[in-house]
Structure 1
Amino acid sequence: DEIKRYAVKDILPRIGSMHADAITPADVCTMIEEVAERSKSVARRLFEILSVAFDHGVPRRLPANPCRVLNVSSIVGTQQRRERVKLTLDELRAALAALPGLGRDNELAVRVLLATAVRKGELIRARWSEVDIDAGLWRITDENSKTGAGFVVPLSPIVADWFRELRELADGSLWVLPSRNASYRGRRRGEDHIGETTLNAALVRLGAKDVRDFSPHDLRATARSYLTDELGVDVIVAERCLNHALGGLVGVYDKSDYLTHRRAALALWAQFIADAEQPRAANVLPLVRPGR
């Protein structure tokens, strides 16, 4: 589905009518440059897709792969590694307060990313068949996991309620986050999931005062930092909450999924988010009146 979207939107309109053996490195370069003006990351992905397609064709009928003589970094520039943002408590409160301005579907998606610490793509490609709201479990499949190893995400009651609302908004779609518009000809609204850059674009227009620019992946970094720094969650449990592989001897001998521990940790984190947004009244009564 991902490759089909890229093909229909960017590849076919530019070179779809050409014979494959007539496509030159210059044609590929022109296409990648045009797409890079919109998104360098999409341009890189397109280059990868084209290269694989031409590699498939070379032993069959193509004389050469025109991508082989090109360096995508020379076309779109080198990727600059961006330092991850951990939102401060004040930034977190301001961002949460501004979320309703993005529309309820985007707001709920951002909240789920923050509270579950999953990768953006894992939520975007999630299907309702993989979510058991009543049991508080969301199964991310091997195919949908960046690491290639599926895992189960425990859903706290707060997050489960957000999924219930998302299910109503999905209006019968197979996708947790269905498309709002037809992605390409022949597809109806909701038959595909939202685009890979939809949530990034939403956060760009967040407009929260005194909040640094942040991406969906920064929500994951923020969750990871708060789990250990503020909530005292064990490092191994926090790493497993993010589905990080455990290195060294721990990774070799420790095969536990830590589901019970992760459920408790993410419930604690979800409550922290709720308290940051709407602080609960103190339940301690002073024995001495202020000023005495």
Structure 2
Amino acid sequence: MAKNTHTLTDIQLRQWKKQGAPVAKSDGDGLTFTLSNAGTASWTLRYYQNKKRRELTLGNYPDITLSDARRLASAHRAAIDGGADPAQEKASRKQKESTPEWSIKRLAEDYRVKRLTPASFAASTLYYRNADLNNVIIPKLGSRPVPDVTGQEIVQMLRDADNTWTISKRVLTTASKLFDHAAGLHIIAINPCAGVSLTSLLGPRPPIKKRVMLSEDDLRTLLATIDTLGTENGLALRILLATCVRTNELVTAQWKNIDLENGSWFVPNELTKTRTGFLVPLTPPVVAWFRRLHELAGNSPYVLPARVTRKLGQPITTRTLWAAITRAFDTGRLKITKFTPHDTRSTAKGHMRNLGISEFDTERALSHAIGGVSGIYDVREEIPEKRLALQKWADFLLTLTPTI
């Protein structure tokens, strides 16, 4: 540190202040008295840090006297000699104070607008991401400043939610994506979810439920009693079976994407799991089921409009069919192998293979992404092999029931 060589006096300061002429006078060791054209007198400490010239405003005179300024300058110079950069630290504090605090609730709102969009995720993914935010993450952490959230709080959140292993995994994934968004905004440097282990918290992951393939007898019984699930539910389940689409793709379907005259249904990008739209060939029985649903839908743009008054103008949810099937099993109306709506796809896959349809064409029928060169160069929307496979599968279903 340079030798202390103070040059200013209180008398000089008062005279300069009274005269009002602009001045800039050094007291030594970087401490400078400045009087502006506007008559504002202030103290500035000038110094070098990492070979860069810095200036730190200490305050105004006479609020800060000469002796006060010297004491402040001395303390700052000691910190500077120790590697501190008080001007940079002051600027950082001012920026932090001027920036609205990012709470988890505010972060979630920003995340929804910028990341949770139909262009980025399927409707089912959006539904569950929002459900995790609304039901678990925001109620538990909503008021917490984002930078203050720790891994321990994430663990406690998962414990308090008391969900199954699978649901806890989903919530943890949603939380991790949320904090990835915070890192992208430079609010945090490290994602607090990074070190959280569900295996440590809940033990090993339970065995993944095996998909169900309904037997011919199961299908025969189901098709004979399917309308006991409700007219719309019965028609929807028939269509799920015959078209091999995912439940969400059907329950969110709109009439504008269905061409019954030409037997085709286009599932747009935003409604698909892969974010790539595809054409579903409609066989004559499926066209007939859609026509019956069209009569029941009235003026709704949706194939399966909501049946609850407060949700008019929306489609049914993915749980509607699941709930109808569950009730049928619980009341004894269905006495076959237990299944879920998604099991219609594994059922179709198995029976189509038994019917001699190739693995490649069954994958097309299920609208799975085709890998390799075929997936790159075969860009057809109308695929005759897919239509033939679904026609053969629909014909088989008709052999199991006397009516469509």
> TM-score, length-normalised on structure 1?
0.77
Please say which structure displays the higher CA radius of gyration. 2
- Taking a change above 3 Å as real, the CA distance of residues 138 and 277 of structure 1, as seen in their structure-2 partners, is same
Give runs of aligned pairs for residues 189-204 of structure 1, distance below 5 A: 189-204=311-326
Q: Whole-Å Cα distance in 2 between the matches of residues 178 and 31 of structure 1?
A: 36
Q: Does 1:70 align with 2:183?
A: no
Q: Does 1:93 align with 2:220?
A: yes
Q: Does 1:32 align with 2:188?
A: no
Q: Does 1:122 align with 2:249?
A: yes
- Taking a change above 3 Å as real, the CA distance of residues 248 and 18 of structure 1, as seen in their structure-2 partners, is closer
Partner of residue 397, structure 2: 273
Give runs of aligned pairs for residues 6-85 of structure 1, distance below 5 A: 6-33=132-159, 35=161, 37=163, 40-58=165-183, 59-62=185-188, 64-75=190-201, 77-85=204-212
- 8 Å contact from structure 1 (residues 166, 177) kept in 2: yes
* Amino acid aligned to 2:259: D
Partner of residue 384, structure 2: 260
Partner of residue 21, structure 2: none
Q: Does 1:144 align with 2:271?
A: yes
Aligned match of 2:291 in 160, 164, 173? Answer: 164
Aligned match of 1:223 in 325, 348, 363? Answer: 348
The one-character-per-residue Cα deviations of 1:197-247 (angstroms, maximum 9, x if unpaired) are 4433333333255522222222111112222313x3344322211123445
Following superposition, the deviation at residue 174 of structure 1 comes to 4.0
Following superposition, the deviation at residue 68 of structure 1 comes to 1.7
Give runs of aligned pairs for residues 176-195 of structure 1, distance below 5 A: 176-181=303-308, 188-195=310-317
Q: Whole-Å Cα distance in 1 between the matches of residues 223 and 155 of structure 2?
A: 42
Q: Whole-Å Cα distance in 2 between the matches of residues 240 and 153 of structure 1?
A: 10
Gaps of at least 5 residues in structure 1 are 183-187, 281-292
Following superposition, the deviation at residue 266 of structure 1 comes to 1.7
- 8 Å contact from structure 1 (residues 99, 206) kept in 2: no
- Taking a change above 3 Å as real, the CA distance of residues 14 and 134 of structure 1, as seen in their structure-2 partners, is farther
Range moving further from structure 2, 6-15 or 98-107: 6-15
CA RMSD of aligned residues (A): 3.2
Following superposition, the deviation at residue 6 of structure 1 comes to 4.1
- Taking a change above 3 Å as real, the CA distance of residues 36 and 124 of structure 1, as seen in their structure-2 partners, is farther
Greater RCO, 1 or 2 (C-alpha within 8 Å, sep 6+)? 1
Q: Whole-Å Cα distance in 2 between the matches of residues 106 and 73 of structure 1?
A: 39
- Taking a change above 3 Å as real, the CA distance of residues 279 and 164 of structure 1, as seen in their structure-2 partners, is closer
- Taking a change above 3 Å as real, the CA distance of residues 143 and 279 of structure 1, as seen in their structure-2 partners, is closer
The share of aligned pairs that are identical, in percent, is 35
- 8 Å contact from structure 2 (residues 241, 345) kept in 1: yes
Q: Does 1:102 align with 2:195?
A: no
Partner of residue 368, structure 2: 244
Range moving further from structure 2, 234-243 or 163-172: 163-172
Range moving further from structure 2, 129-138 or 66-75: 66-75
Partner of residue 289, structure 1: none
Range moving further from structure 2, 150-159 or 250-259: 250-259
Gaps of at least 5 residues in structure 2 are 1-125
Partner of residue 100, structure 2: none
Following superposition, the deviation at residue 144 of structure 1 comes to 2.3
- Taking a change above 3 Å as real, the CA distance of residues 255 and 196 of structure 1, as seen in their structure-2 partners, is same
- Taking a change above 3 Å as real, the CA distance of residues 139 and 252 of structure 1, as seen in their structure-2 partners, is closer
SS of aligned partner of 1:143: helix
SS of aligned partner of 1:86: coil
Aligned match of 2:327 in 180, 197, 205? Answer: 205
Partner of residue 132, structure 1: 259
1 or 2, which has the higher strand percentage? Answer: 2
The one-character-per-residue Cα deviations of 1:248-280 (angstroms, maximum 9, x if unpaired) are 565566555562332233233223223312279
> TM-score, length-normalised on structure 2?
0.58
